[in-house]
Amino acid sequence: MLSSRDPEASEVIGTEPLPSFPFITLILYTIGIVLGIFFILIGFIEEATGIDAVLGATFWILGGFLLIPSIFYSIMMIKALKTDQAGEYIRIIKNIPQL
């Protein structure tokens, strides 16, 4: 696991403790992925059945707005979990918006 003093880290960590991993934020981004896929599927259903093409496009856009950042930040959080360097872990966690 990571320690606050990693000799291979590119930054000087000092005695500053590592920030805790934001599991709630990861759960919320996972919910964003599920909702994004759900909205895109609803958009396809609206478009395919011919009910309302404008409503289908609206769901596609809404699903894309939810899906793209949720996937990006979830991947970044998984990278932070898998890294062995404390400096890299801190850099990644500080760049992720906390929800």
Tell me whether residue 4 is in a domain: no
With 80 as the cut, is the pLDDT of residue 12 above it?
A: no
Angle between the N-to-C axes of helices 23-49 and 53-82, in degrees from 0 to 180, rounded to the nearest 10: 150
With 70 as the cut, is the pLDDT of residue 5 above it?
A: no
Task: Please give the tally of structural domains in the chain.
Answer: 1
Tell me whether residue 14 is in a domain: no
Tell me whether residue 17 is in a domain: no
Q: Which domain, by its residues, includes 58?
A: 23-94
Condensed to tens digits (0 to 9), the pLDDT of residues 68-83 reads 999 999 999 999 999 9
